[in-house]
Amino acid sequence: MKTKEITLATYGIYNEEKDETHIKYFTITKENLKRYIKELDYKSMKEFLNEYTWDTTETIYYMAIEENNLISEQEEL
């Protein structure tokens, strides 16, 4: 059975005092991810997964927030 959700990572909060960057994990549906990566000019899911950066996933994170499509999010070191 294929999962219908995918979890990605992007920039979290930077703690200047401790010089630590937290990681933000967020989950969206694969259907929404496919739509977002097309909007970002990736030709396929494989291309996206091989080439994306946290800048890209940050953009996707905000796209999902704007459309109220976040399933979950979590932040950790």
Each residue of 4-18: pLDDT tens digit?
999 999 988 888 888
Bigger pLDDT: 1 or 15?
A: 15
Q: Which residue has the higher pLDDT, 2 or 55?
A: 55
d(CA 56, CA 64): 12
> Measured between alpha carbons, how far is 59 from 32 in angstroms, rounded to an integer?
13
- Are 40 and 59 contacting, i.e. CB atoms less than 8 angstroms apart? yes
51 pLDDT higher than 70: yes
1 — pLDDT class (breaks 50, 70, 90): low
